[in-house]
Amino acid sequence: MRDVAVVGVNMIKFGRYPEKDVVELASEASIAALKDAGCSIKDIELVASGNLYQSNAMIGQRVMKEIGATGIPVINVANACATGSTAFREAYYSVASGAYDTAMAVGSEQMGKMGLLGAGGGGDRAYSTEGIMGTGLMPGVFGQAGVEHMRKYGTTQEQIAKIAVKNHEHGVLNPHAQYRKETPLEDVLNARVIAWPNTLYMCCPTGDGAAAAILMSAEKAKKYTTKPVWVAASILTSDPYQERNPTMFDINTVTRNAAKQAYETAGIGPEDLDMVELHDCFATAELLHYENLFLCGEGEAGKLIDDKETYNGGKIPVNVSGGLLSKGHPLGATGVANITEIVWHLREEAGDRQVKGAKTGLAHVIGLGSACTINVLKR
Partner 1 sequence: MAQETATEKKTNPIVKFLRIPENYPDEAAYFWGMQCGACDAKFLGARLACGKCGETDKLSEVKYGGDGEIYVFSVVHQTVPGLEAPYVGAIIDLDDGVSIRANVYGLDPEKPDSSWFGKRVKMFTEVTAQDRDGNDVVAAKFKVQE
Residue 153 amino acid letter: Y
Q: Is 302 in the site for partner 1 (CB under 8 A)?
A: no
Among residues 168, 170, 289, 329, the one annotated as catalytic is 329
Q: Which stretch binds partner 1 (CB under 8 A): 144-152, 159-167, 253-261, 367-375?
A: 144-152
Question: Phi then psi for 46, rounded to 5 degrees?
Answer: -155, 145
Catalytic residue flag (residue 81): yes
Cα 121 from Cα 238, distance rounded (Å): 26
Q: Is 139 in the site for partner 1 (CB under 8 A)?
A: yes
Q: Which is nearer to partner 1, 42 or 125 (CB)?
A: 125
Q: Is 50 in the site for partner 1 (CB under 8 A)?
A: no
Binding partner 1 (rule: CB under 8 A), the pick from 122, 192, 298, 357 is 192
Instruction: Give the closest residue to 334 by CA, choosing from 288, 378, 291, 285.
Output: 285
Cα 265 from Cα 40, distance rounded (Å): 31
Catalytic residue flag (residue 170): no
Instruction: Give the closest residue to 212 by CA, choosing from 4, 8, 3.
Output: 8
DSSP H/E element including 64: helix 59-67
What's the number of CA atoms in the CB half-sphere (13 Å) around residue 244? Answer: 10
Binding partner 1 (rule: CB under 8 A), the pick from 58, 80, 173, 248 is 248
Binding partner 1 (rule: CB under 8 A), the pick from 55, 61, 70, 135 is 135
Q: Is 288 in the site for partner 1 (CB under 8 A)?
A: no
Q: Which is nearer to partner 1, 82 or 145 (CB)?
A: 145
Residues 6+ apart with CB under 8 A from 130: 136, 137
Q: Contact letters (x/-) for partner 1, 306-345, by CB under 8 A? A: ----------------------------------------
Q: Which stretch binds partner 1 (CB under 8 A): 33-41, 43-51, 149-157, 272-280?
A: 149-157
Strands 275-277, 360-367: parallel, antiparallel or unpaired by DSSP? parallel
Cα 345 from Cα 340, distance rounded (Å): 9
What's the number of CA atoms in the CB half-sphere (13 Å) around residue 226? Answer: 0
Binding partner 1 (rule: CB under 8 A), the pick from 161, 188, 195, 202 is 195
Residues 113-132 that bind partner 1 (CB under 8 A): 117-118, 124-132
> Which residues participate in catalysis according to the annotation?
81, 329
